[in-house]
Amino acid sequence: MAEEVKVKAKAKTVKNDKTDKQSEELAKAKQKKEEAKVKAQKASEDRIKEERLKKEKAEKLKQEEEKRIKEAEALEKEKKDKTKETISGVAAIATTALAGKKNKGFFSGLIIGLVAGIALSFMLSGYLDTMFKNPIETVKDNFDEVLTETFAGYTAVDFKNAVLGEASQHQELIVMEQPLVIDTTITKAGLGNLAIFSKTKEISYAGTGVYTVDLKDIDEDHIRVDEEEKTVTIYINHTVLQYVNISYDEMKFEDTEKGLLSFGDITLTMEQQNELEKSVQSSMRETLLQETLLNQADEFAKMKCWEVFQPLISAVSPEFVVEIEFNK
Protein backbone atom coordinates (compact mmCIF):
# COMPACT_ATOMS: atom_id res chain seq x y z
CA MET A 1 0.00 0.00 0.00
CA ALA A 2 1.42 3.34 -1.05
CA GLU A 3 2.35 5.71 1.70
CA GLU A 4 0.16 8.78 2.11
CA VAL A 5 1.45 11.83 0.23
CA LYS A 6 0.32 15.39 0.88
CA VAL A 7 0.91 18.22 -1.61
CA LYS A 8 0.75 21.89 -0.81
CA ALA A 9 1.18 24.30 -3.75
CA LYS A 10 1.24 28.09 -3.59
CA ALA A 11 1.51 30.15 -6.80
CA LYS A 12 2.63 33.75 -6.94
CA THR A 13 3.04 36.18 -9.83
CA VAL A 14 6.48 37.36 -10.87
CA LYS A 15 7.89 40.02 -13.14
CA ASN A 16 10.36 39.26 -15.87
CA ASP A 17 11.36 40.44 -19.34
CA LYS A 18 7.99 39.38 -20.72
CA THR A 19 5.96 41.43 -18.27
CA ASP A 20 8.26 44.43 -18.76
CA LYS A 21 7.78 44.20 -22.52
CA GLN A 22 4.02 43.93 -22.13
CA SER A 23 3.96 47.03 -19.93
CA GLU A 24 6.02 48.94 -22.48
CA GLU A 25 3.70 47.87 -25.30
CA LEU A 26 0.68 48.95 -23.28
CA ALA A 27 2.18 52.39 -22.64
CA LYS A 28 3.04 52.77 -26.32
CA ALA A 29 -0.47 51.75 -27.36
CA LYS A 30 -2.00 54.33 -25.04
CA GLN A 31 0.26 56.99 -26.48
CA LYS A 32 -0.66 55.94 -30.02
CA LYS A 33 -4.33 56.20 -29.11
CA GLU A 34 -3.91 59.76 -27.85
CA GLU A 35 -1.97 60.65 -30.98
CA ALA A 36 -4.70 59.11 -33.12
CA LYS A 37 -7.29 61.32 -31.42
CA VAL A 38 -5.23 64.43 -32.16
CA LYS A 39 -4.69 63.32 -35.75
CA ALA A 40 -8.40 62.61 -36.24
CA GLN A 41 -9.32 66.00 -34.79
CA LYS A 42 -6.94 67.72 -37.19
CA ALA A 43 -8.35 65.75 -40.13
CA SER A 44 -11.84 66.88 -39.13
CA GLU A 45 -10.73 70.50 -38.83
CA ASP A 46 -8.98 70.32 -42.21
CA ARG A 47 -12.11 68.92 -43.85
CA ILE A 48 -14.29 71.63 -42.31
CA LYS A 49 -11.83 74.26 -43.52
CA GLU A 50 -11.85 72.72 -46.99
CA GLU A 51 -15.64 72.72 -47.04
CA ARG A 52 -15.75 76.34 -45.93
CA LEU A 53 -13.28 77.45 -48.60
CA LYS A 54 -15.13 75.54 -51.27
CA LYS A 55 -18.46 77.01 -50.23
CA GLU A 56 -16.97 80.49 -50.16
CA LYS A 57 -15.63 79.92 -53.66
CA ALA A 58 -19.00 78.59 -54.76
CA GLU A 59 -20.77 81.58 -53.20
CA LYS A 60 -18.46 83.96 -55.04
CA LEU A 61 -19.11 82.07 -58.24
CA LYS A 62 -22.82 82.30 -57.60
CA GLN A 63 -22.65 86.07 -57.14
CA GLU A 64 -20.62 86.46 -60.33
CA GLU A 65 -23.01 84.31 -62.28
CA GLU A 66 -26.04 86.09 -60.85
CA LYS A 67 -24.52 89.32 -62.14
CA ARG A 68 -24.03 87.74 -65.54
CA ILE A 69 -27.56 86.44 -65.45
CA LYS A 70 -28.95 89.90 -64.84
CA GLU A 71 -26.83 91.33 -67.62
CA ALA A 72 -27.94 88.52 -69.93
CA GLU A 73 -31.59 89.06 -69.02
CA ALA A 74 -31.25 92.79 -69.66
CA LEU A 75 -29.65 92.12 -73.03
CA GLU A 76 -32.33 89.60 -73.85
CA LYS A 77 -35.03 92.12 -72.98
CA GLU A 78 -33.33 94.70 -75.17
CA LYS A 79 -33.21 92.23 -78.09
CA LYS A 80 -36.86 91.35 -77.62
CA ASP A 81 -37.83 95.03 -77.50
CA LYS A 82 -35.98 95.63 -80.75
CA THR A 83 -37.70 92.62 -82.27
CA LYS A 84 -41.07 94.03 -81.27
CA GLU A 85 -40.12 97.37 -82.80
CA THR A 86 -39.16 95.61 -86.02
CA ILE A 87 -42.43 93.75 -86.10
CA SER A 88 -44.33 96.96 -85.43
CA GLY A 89 -42.43 98.70 -88.24
CA VAL A 90 -43.19 95.93 -90.69
CA ALA A 91 -46.80 95.96 -89.65
CA ALA A 92 -46.94 99.74 -90.17
CA ILE A 93 -45.51 99.43 -93.66
CA ALA A 94 -47.99 96.69 -94.48
CA THR A 95 -50.85 98.81 -93.21
CA THR A 96 -49.78 101.75 -95.37
CA ALA A 97 -49.41 99.52 -98.38
CA LEU A 98 -52.85 98.04 -97.90
CA ALA A 99 -54.35 101.46 -97.56
CA GLY A 100 -52.81 102.61 -100.90
CA LYS A 101 -53.79 99.58 -102.98
CA LYS A 102 -51.83 101.08 -105.88
CA ASN A 103 -50.10 97.97 -107.06
CA LYS A 104 -51.35 94.44 -106.59
CA GLY A 105 -47.93 92.97 -107.30
CA PHE A 106 -46.37 95.24 -104.77
CA PHE A 107 -49.10 94.32 -102.31
CA SER A 108 -48.46 90.58 -102.70
CA GLY A 109 -44.73 90.95 -102.29
CA LEU A 110 -45.24 93.10 -99.26
CA ILE A 111 -47.46 90.54 -97.62
CA ILE A 112 -44.91 87.82 -98.25
CA GLY A 113 -42.14 90.02 -96.87
CA LEU A 114 -44.24 90.81 -93.84
CA VAL A 115 -44.80 87.15 -93.08
CA ALA A 116 -41.12 86.32 -93.60
CA GLY A 117 -40.08 89.22 -91.39
CA ILE A 118 -42.39 88.18 -88.61
CA ALA A 119 -41.16 84.56 -88.84
CA LEU A 120 -37.56 85.70 -88.84
CA SER A 121 -38.20 87.89 -85.79
CA PHE A 122 -39.73 85.04 -83.84
CA MET A 123 -36.87 82.74 -84.85
CA LEU A 124 -34.40 85.36 -83.64
CA SER A 125 -36.32 85.70 -80.40
CA GLY A 126 -36.26 81.90 -79.91
CA TYR A 127 -32.55 81.79 -80.64
CA LEU A 128 -31.92 84.43 -78.00
CA ASP A 129 -33.97 82.44 -75.49
CA THR A 130 -31.84 79.39 -76.17
CA MET A 131 -28.57 81.30 -76.15
CA PHE A 132 -29.14 83.00 -72.79
CA LYS A 133 -31.31 80.51 -70.92
CA ASN A 134 -29.18 77.36 -71.18
CA PRO A 135 -25.98 78.84 -69.67
CA ILE A 136 -27.98 80.28 -66.80
CA GLU A 137 -29.54 76.91 -65.96
CA THR A 138 -26.16 75.21 -66.27
CA VAL A 139 -24.59 77.67 -63.84
CA LYS A 140 -27.37 77.10 -61.31
CA ASP A 141 -27.01 73.32 -61.62
CA ASN A 142 -23.24 73.51 -61.19
CA PHE A 143 -23.58 75.71 -58.14
CA ASP A 144 -26.10 73.39 -56.50
CA GLU A 145 -23.79 70.46 -57.19
CA VAL A 146 -20.89 72.23 -55.49
CA LEU A 147 -22.90 73.00 -52.39
CA THR A 148 -24.34 69.51 -52.07
CA GLU A 149 -21.06 67.67 -52.68
CA THR A 150 -20.25 65.23 -49.88
CA PHE A 151 -16.82 65.32 -48.32
CA ALA A 152 -17.36 62.25 -46.13
CA GLY A 153 -16.96 59.45 -48.63
CA TYR A 154 -18.07 56.76 -46.15
CA THR A 155 -21.13 55.10 -44.70
CA ALA A 156 -21.75 53.31 -41.42
CA VAL A 157 -21.79 50.06 -43.39
CA ASP A 158 -18.20 50.68 -44.52
CA PHE A 159 -17.04 50.85 -40.89
CA LYS A 160 -18.96 47.75 -39.90
CA ASN A 161 -17.69 45.71 -42.83
CA ALA A 162 -14.10 46.65 -41.98
CA VAL A 163 -14.54 45.57 -38.35
CA LEU A 164 -16.36 42.34 -39.13
CA GLY A 165 -13.80 41.30 -41.73
CA GLU A 166 -10.91 41.75 -39.33
CA ALA A 167 -12.71 40.25 -36.31
CA SER A 168 -13.20 36.99 -38.19
CA GLN A 169 -9.40 36.63 -38.35
CA HIS A 170 -8.83 37.13 -34.60
CA GLN A 171 -11.15 34.65 -32.94
CA GLU A 172 -8.79 34.01 -30.01
CA LEU A 173 -6.62 37.07 -29.55
CA ILE A 174 -3.89 36.65 -26.94
CA VAL A 175 -3.83 39.85 -24.88
CA MET A 176 -1.65 39.05 -21.85
CA GLU A 177 0.66 36.42 -20.45
CA GLN A 178 1.37 36.25 -16.73
CA PRO A 179 4.39 34.29 -15.43
CA LEU A 180 4.19 32.50 -12.11
CA VAL A 181 6.34 30.68 -9.64
CA ILE A 182 4.66 27.80 -7.83
CA ASP A 183 6.31 26.71 -4.61
CA THR A 184 5.27 23.16 -3.83
CA THR A 185 5.82 21.06 -0.74
CA ILE A 186 5.49 17.28 -0.92
CA THR A 187 5.19 15.47 2.38
CA LYS A 188 5.28 11.70 2.56
CA ALA A 189 4.16 10.40 5.89
CA GLY A 190 5.99 7.50 7.48
CA LEU A 191 5.08 4.91 10.05
CA GLY A 192 2.22 6.09 12.23
CA ASN A 193 2.47 9.53 10.60
CA LEU A 194 5.29 10.27 12.96
CA ALA A 195 7.67 13.06 11.97
CA ILE A 196 10.75 10.96 12.54
CA PHE A 197 9.59 8.61 9.77
CA SER A 198 8.38 11.35 7.35
CA LYS A 199 10.04 12.95 4.32
CA THR A 200 9.54 16.45 2.86
CA LYS A 201 10.66 17.84 -0.48
CA GLU A 202 10.40 21.38 -1.89
CA ILE A 203 9.85 21.76 -5.64
CA SER A 204 9.64 25.10 -7.46
CA TYR A 205 7.72 25.19 -10.72
CA ALA A 206 7.61 27.96 -13.32
CA GLY A 207 4.39 28.53 -15.21
CA THR A 208 2.50 30.99 -17.38
CA GLY A 209 -1.14 31.95 -17.59
CA VAL A 210 -2.44 33.02 -21.01
CA TYR A 211 -5.40 35.40 -21.31
CA THR A 212 -7.38 35.79 -24.51
CA VAL A 213 -10.38 37.65 -25.86
CA ASP A 214 -12.75 35.98 -28.28
CA LEU A 215 -13.75 38.19 -31.22
CA LYS A 216 -15.71 35.65 -33.23
CA ASP A 217 -19.05 36.73 -31.69
CA ILE A 218 -18.75 40.32 -32.92
CA ASP A 219 -21.56 41.18 -35.31
CA GLU A 220 -23.28 44.39 -36.45
CA ASP A 221 -25.04 44.71 -33.10
CA HIS A 222 -21.62 45.02 -31.42
CA ILE A 223 -20.59 48.01 -33.55
CA ARG A 224 -21.93 51.53 -33.01
CA VAL A 225 -21.04 54.38 -35.35
CA ASP A 226 -21.50 57.91 -33.98
CA GLU A 227 -21.07 60.35 -36.85
CA GLU A 228 -21.46 63.38 -34.59
CA GLU A 229 -18.73 62.29 -32.16
CA LYS A 230 -16.70 60.68 -34.95
CA THR A 231 -16.30 57.41 -33.06
CA VAL A 232 -16.72 53.73 -33.86
CA THR A 233 -17.40 51.83 -30.63
CA ILE A 234 -16.79 48.09 -30.69
CA TYR A 235 -18.19 45.94 -27.90
CA ILE A 236 -16.12 42.87 -26.97
CA ASN A 237 -16.29 40.08 -24.42
CA HIS A 238 -14.24 40.24 -21.24
CA THR A 239 -10.95 38.39 -21.27
CA VAL A 240 -10.71 34.81 -20.05
CA LEU A 241 -7.89 32.72 -18.69
CA GLN A 242 -7.55 30.46 -21.69
CA TYR A 243 -4.92 28.02 -20.39
CA VAL A 244 -1.92 27.57 -18.09
CA ASN A 245 1.46 26.21 -19.05
CA ILE A 246 3.95 24.54 -16.72
CA SER A 247 7.56 24.80 -17.76
CA TYR A 248 9.06 21.53 -16.57
CA ASP A 249 12.48 22.58 -17.84
CA GLU A 250 12.59 25.27 -15.17
CA MET A 251 11.71 23.03 -12.22
CA LYS A 252 13.97 23.39 -9.20
CA PHE A 253 14.33 20.65 -6.58
CA GLU A 254 15.55 21.13 -3.05
CA ASP A 255 17.15 18.37 -1.05
CA THR A 256 14.72 16.06 0.67
CA GLU A 257 14.33 16.72 4.35
CA LYS A 258 14.13 13.45 6.27
CA GLY A 259 13.04 12.52 9.70
CA LEU A 260 15.56 10.90 12.04
CA LEU A 261 14.44 7.39 11.13
CA SER A 262 13.49 8.12 7.52
CA PHE A 263 15.65 6.85 4.70
CA GLY A 264 15.76 7.26 0.90
CA ASP A 265 14.19 9.83 -1.35
CA ILE A 266 10.51 10.45 -2.05
CA THR A 267 9.11 8.34 -4.84
CA LEU A 268 5.65 8.89 -6.26
CA THR A 269 3.30 6.55 -8.01
CA MET A 270 1.73 7.62 -11.33
CA GLU A 271 -1.48 8.47 -9.50
CA GLN A 272 0.40 10.58 -6.96
CA GLN A 273 2.25 12.40 -9.76
CA ASN A 274 -1.08 13.23 -11.42
CA GLU A 275 -2.39 14.60 -8.14
CA LEU A 276 0.75 16.69 -7.78
CA GLU A 277 0.25 18.24 -11.25
CA LYS A 278 -3.43 18.89 -10.58
CA SER A 279 -2.55 20.65 -7.34
CA VAL A 280 0.00 22.83 -9.12
CA GLN A 281 -2.43 23.78 -11.91
CA SER A 282 -5.20 24.45 -9.41
CA SER A 283 -2.97 26.82 -7.49
CA MET A 284 -1.98 28.57 -10.72
CA ARG A 285 -5.59 29.08 -11.78
CA GLU A 286 -6.61 30.33 -8.37
CA THR A 287 -3.91 32.99 -8.51
CA LEU A 288 -4.47 33.90 -12.17
CA LEU A 289 -8.22 34.32 -11.69
CA GLN A 290 -7.82 37.04 -9.08
CA GLU A 291 -9.81 40.16 -9.89
CA THR A 292 -6.74 42.38 -10.13
CA LEU A 293 -5.21 40.21 -12.85
CA LEU A 294 -8.48 39.88 -14.77
CA ASN A 295 -8.86 43.68 -14.73
CA GLN A 296 -5.30 44.05 -15.93
CA ALA A 297 -5.96 41.56 -18.74
CA ASP A 298 -9.08 43.54 -19.72
CA GLU A 299 -6.98 46.69 -20.00
CA PHE A 300 -4.57 44.88 -22.30
CA ALA A 301 -7.53 43.54 -24.29
CA LYS A 302 -8.88 47.03 -24.94
CA MET A 303 -5.57 48.30 -26.24
CA LYS A 304 -4.82 45.17 -28.27
CA CYS A 305 -8.21 45.39 -29.97
CA TRP A 306 -7.77 49.10 -30.52
CA GLU A 307 -4.47 48.41 -32.30
CA VAL A 308 -6.21 45.83 -34.49
CA PHE A 309 -9.18 47.97 -35.55
CA GLN A 310 -7.97 51.59 -35.53
CA PRO A 311 -5.92 51.35 -38.77
CA LEU A 312 -8.95 49.93 -40.58
CA ILE A 313 -11.27 52.68 -39.35
CA SER A 314 -8.71 55.36 -40.21
CA ALA A 315 -8.54 53.92 -43.73
CA VAL A 316 -12.30 54.42 -44.10
CA SER A 317 -12.17 57.93 -42.62
CA PRO A 318 -9.18 59.64 -40.97
CA GLU A 319 -11.61 61.62 -38.79
CA PHE A 320 -12.85 58.62 -36.81
CA VAL A 321 -11.33 56.93 -33.78
CA VAL A 322 -12.06 53.53 -32.25
CA GLU A 323 -13.38 53.03 -28.75
CA ILE A 324 -13.42 49.56 -27.19
CA GLU A 325 -16.04 48.71 -24.58
CA PHE A 326 -17.09 45.46 -22.93
CA ASN A 327 -20.42 43.76 -23.38
CA LYS A 328 -22.74 44.16 -20.45
Q: What is the DSSP track for 17-70?
A: HHHHHHHHHHHHHHHHHHHHHHHHHHHHHHHHHHHHHHHHHHHHHHHHHHHHHH
Residue 58 has a pLDDT of 85
C-beta of residue 219 within 8 angstroms of C-beta of residue 164? yes
What are 131-181's pLDDT values in tens digits? 444 555 555 555 455 444 444 578 899 999 999 999 888 778 999 999 999
Residue type, 23: S
327: helix, coil or strand? coil
CA distance 113 to 322: 80
pLDDT tens sequence for the chain (328 residues)? 456 788 889 999 999 999 999 999 999 999 999 999 999 999 999 988 988 888 888 888 888 888 888 888 888 888 888 877 777 776 676 566 556 655 555 555 555 555 555 555 545 455 445 444 455 555 555 545 544 444 457 889 999 999 999 988 877 899 999 999 999 988 876 655 555 657 788 889 999 999 999 998 899 999 999 999 999 999 999 999 999 999 988 888 776 665 554 555 677 788 888 888 899 999 999 999 999 999 999 999 999 999 999 999 999 999 999 999 999 8
Give bridge partners of residue 9 from the DSSP assignment.
184
Closest CA to 318 of 43, 34, 35: 43
C-beta of residue 230 within 8 angstroms of C-beta of residue 168? no
Closest CA to 13 of 243, 184, 181: 181
Q: What is the DSSP track for 222-280?
A: GEEEETTTTEEEEEEPPPEEEEEEEEEEEEEEPPPEE-TT--S-----HHHHHHHHHHH
Closest CA to 215 of 306, 289, 317: 306
Q: Answer yes or no: pTM beyond 0.75.
A: no
Q: Is 174 left (phi over 0), alpha (psi -120 to 50) or beta?
A: beta
C-beta of residue 228 within 8 angstroms of C-beta of residue 202? no
User: What order do you get walking across the sheet with 231-236 strand by strand?
Assistant: 223-226, 231-236, 321-326
Cβ neighbours of 283 (radius 10 Å) = 23
CA distance 170 to 308: 9
* H or E element, residue 325: strand 321-326
What are 243-284's pLDDT values in tens digits? 999 998 888 877 666 555 455 567 778 888 888 889 999 999
Residue type, 50: E
User: What share of residues in the chain are helix, strand, coil (percent, to 5)?
Assistant: 60, 25, 20
Residue 81 has a pLDDT of 80
Pairing of β 199-214 and β 5-13:
unpaired
Backbone angles phi, psi at 108, to 5 degrees: -65, -45
DSSP 8-state code for residue 195: G
Closest CA to 179 of 14, 10, 296: 14
Chain mean position to CA 152: 14
CA distance 10 to 93: 124
